[in-house]
Amino acid sequence: MQKSKAKPDRKTWPAKGRVTVKDIAKALDVSVATVSRALSNDPTIADKTRERVLKKADEMGYSPNLFARGLITQRSRIAALFVSNITNPFYPEVVVKLTRRLQALGLHTMLFTSDGTSGVDEALPLLTQYNPDIAIVLAATMSSETVKKCVEGRTPVILFNRYVSGANVSAVCCDNYSGGRLVAETLAGAGHKAPAYISGLDDASTNVDRLRGFRDGCAAVGLPEPAVISGRDFTYEAGYIGMKELFAGKSKPDAVFCGNDIIAIGAMDAARRELGLSIPDDVSVIGFDDIAMASWPSHELTTVRQPMNAMIDEVIIEINRLLSQEDSQPQQRFLPGRLMVRTSMRLKEDDAR
Amino acid sequence: MQKSKAKPDRKTWPAKGRVTVKDIAKALDVSVATVSRALSNDPTIADKTRERVLKKADEMGYSPNLFARGLITQRSRIAALFVSNITNPFYPEVVVKLTRRLQALGLHTMLFTSDGTSGVDEALPLLTQYNPDIAIVLAATMSSETVKKCVEGRTPVILFNRYVSGANVSAVCCDNYSGGRLVAETLAGAGHKAPAYISGLDDASTNVDRLRGFRDGCAAVGLPEPAVISGRDFTYEAGYIGMKELFAGKSKPDAVFCGNDIIAIGAMDAARRELGLSIPDDVSVIGFDDIAMASWPSHELTTVRQPMNAMIDEVIIEINRLLSQEDSQPQQRFLPGRLMVRTSMRLKEDDAR
DNA sequence: ATGAAAGCGCTAACAA
DNA sequence: TTGTTAGCGCTTTCAT
């Protein structure tokens, strides 16, 4: 029944048995400050002491509590990653590769998903709760309002395959517009006469830019305005149905450019199975992304390859820039795609021209 | 130069401008405890007060700092999710769906990836730093040592499509063994005579169980021991090469069961392109997973469907169990797969029997 | 080069 | 029903 200062022996507390700086300090009979300094490579500490601490910490199986650290440093070491598009295998691959790179940077990936329709905004409240050091948005729709909130909340945002012209946000994109033009030019060069386009999600900027580039390209090389099947989704079904619609009309296309590879594969299947067409003799099909599947013998899809690794590199560079200098301005980078020529596109000029 | 208690006006501090409980308390002239109680739906607070606080909090754009909360409650509200297998589209889909469910439970997904070879163990130190409430491992290799460390660290682990017999870990799996048997029985029923199997990763438990089930099934129904192409990876290439090898020998199989769908698709492509075979007339091909692609017209793959949604449901149930009762024992659940019959398998009995 | 002490934002005893 | 206070584990002045 002593009163004393009554701090010790609060052993009923949670604790969960993890080793803390205090434990190390006690074991070595130094102060917690010293332990902290040793762990954070503070130069103002004796080498011997540092070594002793580090050794002991290792022995005791110490692992820092990043919650506590983050609370004081105001840096969470968390990167928030938003994804919605999952039917396209391109993005899962980006998620995995990016996460690995972030891990190497000491950043932990917190993943947020949403269904395709509602975009990413609904996850915003979740985001703020952990105060991530950076937010990365993968080709998902994020309203400019949400973007603004992030910026206000001092969380730098990097958009991947999206950009917002006005807003103060970094972006790393494949140059979708040029990709679209490239396809138009190539098709013209191979003597195609009747271009068409099957859209993914109508208002996705990737889709908009690819189509715009394709249209402009067609005009520039003297091709007619492409027929456009508009807006379901970036899915196999969209391509399948789109292709059928395209050939239901009176004027048949001789080349179909698709919003992405998955759509293109759906389109090819429809052409072969439903329309009895042969590819590329009756119709050329071109995709976008160059996912692994595109090069499989069953598809052999000619497509615009997104420079995924280079894009990821850019994201990492941008993160470093944003996190190192306090007031670095957001920056937008556009990387060119490259046409991967395979057998789904007719190459020779035929009887044309 | 006053000394005083000198707490106020530490305005040079980080702060980052976020609204805290203290701000709300000040604005309403109540104590922070009251605010905290209102926010956490503590029953011991006056309804009026709660409403006032909630309203004000909303007005001020308050969002709790989960670092601080986690520090005291010892619950991070974080679920660690480990993935390595990315070539198989089954798992990205699980990741996205699972994440959405976890979000609904108020759990944030922290994603860890590793390359296929090294398994998941390397990420363990990262894990402990945030003290997740639960760890979920998706079909990745996690050494029993790592599992043990998690259990010791009081972090419950749920394996998805993996299990460890001895260890104290929960698991939710497709019943891969029965799936393998089912395939053998079906093949026999359709008059096949010469079964074969193309492996994924040799030591992956999914692969091992499917093969074991297939072997046992073949024996049970009087089919010969299946020829086995062993162990590259769960990839298209593995299937492509495996199929070629299978037909390089003297005895040709008339039915090839594959470690998963991607392998099966690779095998079919090889059969058609490299071997000039027709499917299913010359050889039947059966996969495992039933990914979206399997039902595409270009593949029409007969396959064992994993009950993905039911499996995810089980994971959620298990999480709730583990997190609610303190000392709930880990539990292993095996869910049966279902054969999806498509045209890649010959159905009629032929001249057989 | 080291220690003492304050405090990040929050919750949970314990009082009142 | 509410306020006071201690403290989660850590970093960081400020002394020494």
- Residues from chain B that touch A65, judged by Cβ atoms under 8 A, are 71, 129, 131
Report if residue B98 sits inside a domain: yes
B111 to A113: CB separation less than 8 angstroms, yes or no:
no
pLDDT at A163: 85
Nucleotides of D under 7 A from a protein CB: 1-13
- Comparing CB atoms, the residue among A63, A100, A236 nearest residue B296 is A236
Q: What percent of chain A has pLDDT over 90?
A: 70
Distance, angstroms, CA B349 to C1' C7?
79
Mutant choice from B111, B122, B136, B268 vs A, greatest count of A C-beta within 10 A: B111
* R_g (Cα) of chain B, nearest Å: 27
Q: What is the length of chain B?
A: 353
Residues A189 and A160 in one domain: no
Least Cα separation, residue A144 to chain B (angstroms): 18
A296 to B111: CB separation less than 8 angstroms, yes or no:
no
A87 to B292: CB separation less than 8 angstroms, yes or no:
yes
Residues A197 and A300 in one domain: yes
pLDDT band at A116 (very low <50, low <70, confident <90, very high): low
Those residues whose beta carbons lie under 7 A from strand C are A 29-34, 37, 44-46, 48-49, 68, 71-72; B 6-7, 10, 13-16, 18, 20-22, 32-33, 36, 39-40, 62, 64-65, 68-69, 71-73
pLDDT band at B149 (very low <50, low <70, confident <90, very high): confident
Report if residue B115 sits inside a domain: yes
Where is average pLDDT lowest: A112-116, B51-55, B67-71, B222-226? A112-116
A154 to B16: CB separation less than 8 angstroms, yes or no:
yes
CATH number of the domain to which B44 belongs: 1.10.260.40
Least Cα separation, residue A110 to chain B (angstroms): 4
Residues A301 and A202 in one domain: yes
The highest-confidence range among A252-256, B58-62, B102-106, B154-158, by mean pLDDT, is A252-256
Mapping DSSP to helix (H, G, I), strand (E, B) and coil, where does residue B303 land? Answer: strand
- Residues from chain A that touch B131, judged by Cβ atoms under 8 A, are 16, 18, 65, 67
pTM value surpassing 0.75: yes
CATH number of the domain to which A191 belongs: 3.40.50.2300
Distance, angstroms, CA A73 to C1' D12?
10
**DSSP summary character for residue B105:** T
Residues B199 and B280 in one domain: yes
Helical pair A66-73 and B66-73, crossing angle rounded to 10 deg: 140
Residues B120 and B266 in one domain: no
A16 vs B230, more confident: B230
Mapping DSSP to helix (H, G, I), strand (E, B) and coil, where does residue B271 land? Answer: helix
B100 to A93: CB separation less than 8 angstroms, yes or no:
no
- CA-nearest residue to A120 within chain B is B100
- CA-nearest residue to A68 within chain B is B71
Q: What percent of chain A has pLDDT over 70?
A: 91
- Comparing CB atoms, the residue among B71, B96, B112 nearest residue A71 is B71
Residues A330 and A276 in one domain: no
Report if residue A4 sits inside a domain: no
pLDDT at B213: 98
Residue B158 pLDDT > 60: yes
Residue B292 pLDDT > 50: yes
CB B349 within 8 A of CB B284: no
pLDDT band at A350 (very low <50, low <70, confident <90, very high): low
Starting from the edge strand earliest in sequence, which strands make up the sheet with B227-229, in order?
Answer: B227-229, B195-198, B255-258, B284-289, B302-305, B338-340
- CA-nearest residue to A236 within chain B is B296
**DSSP summary character for residue A29:** T
- CA-nearest residue to A152 within chain B is B17
Report if residue B92 sits inside a domain: yes
Proximity of residue A40 CB to strand D below 7 A: yes
pLDDT at B175: 97
- As a whole number of angstroms, the distance between CA B72 and CA B66 comes to 10
- Residues from chain A that touch B292, judged by Cβ atoms under 8 A, are 87, 236
pLDDT one-digit tens code per residue, A163-200: 887 767 899 999 999 999 999 999 999 999 999 999 99
Proximity of residue A10 CB to strand D below 7 A: yes
Residues A83 and A122 in one domain: yes
Proximity of residue A7 CB to strand D below 7 A: yes
The highest-confidence range among A130-144, A148-162, A313-327, by mean pLDDT, is A313-327
Residue B6 pLDDT > 60: no
* R_g (Cα) of chain A, nearest Å: 27
Neighbours of B201 (CB within 10 A): 21
Residue B15 pLDDT > 50: no
Residue B101 pLDDT > 90: yes
Residues A201 and A343 in one domain: yes
What is chain B's mean pLDDT, rounded?
A: 88
pLDDT band at B118 (very low <50, low <70, confident <90, very high): low
A57 vs A149, more confident: A57
Report if residue B6 sits inside a domain: no
Residue with tokens 């926010």: B39
Residues B87 and B166 in one domain: yes
The highest-confidence range among A144-158, A174-188, A223-237, B142-156, by mean pLDDT, is A174-188
Burial class (CB in 10 A: 0-12, 13-18, 19+), B28: middle
Residues A158 and A212 in one domain: no
Nucleotides of C under 7 A from a protein CB: 1-13
Chain A with chain B: Cβ pairs closer than 8 A: 151
The structural domain count of chain B equals 3
B76 to A67: CB separation less than 8 angstroms, yes or no:
yes
Mapping DSSP to helix (H, G, I), strand (E, B) and coil, where does residue B63 land? Answer: coil
Q: What percent of chain B has pLDDT over 90?
A: 70
Mean pLDDT value of segment B39-67:
93
A89 to B93: CB separation less than 8 angstroms, yes or no:
no
Which CA distances in Å does B116 have to A60, B121, B122?
A: 30, 11, 12
- Comparing CB atoms, the residue among B14, B110, B128 nearest residue A63 is B128
Neighbours of B252 (CB within 10 A): 15
Residue B13 pLDDT > 60: no
Residues A163 and A292 in one domain: no
Residue B117 pLDDT > 80: no
pLDDT at B349: 63
A99 to B112: CB separation less than 8 angstroms, yes or no:
yes
Supply the range of the domain harboring residue B36: 21-64
pLDDT one-digit tens code per residue, A239-292: 999 999 999 988 899 999 999 999 999 999 999 999 999 999 999 999 999 999
pLDDT band at B205 (very low <50, low <70, confident <90, very high): confident
Report if residue A36 sits inside a domain: yes
Report if residue B284 sits inside a domain: yes
Residue A11 pLDDT > 80: no
Proximity of residue B33 CB to strand D below 7 A: yes
A130 to B108: CB separation less than 8 angstroms, yes or no:
yes
Report if residue A200 sits inside a domain: yes
Residue A5 pLDDT > 50: no
- Comparing CB atoms, the residue among B89, B111, B273 nearest residue A99 is B111
pLDDT one-digit tens code per residue, B309-350: 999 999 999 999 999 876 778 899 999 999 999 999 998 765
- Residues from chain B that touch A108, judged by Cβ atoms under 8 A, are 110, 126, 129-130
Residues A200 and A300 in one domain: yes
Residue with tokens 């490259």: A338
pLDDT one-digit tens code per residue, B261-286: 999 999 999 999 999 999 999 999 99
Mapping DSSP to helix (H, G, I), strand (E, B) and coil, where does residue B179 land? Answer: helix
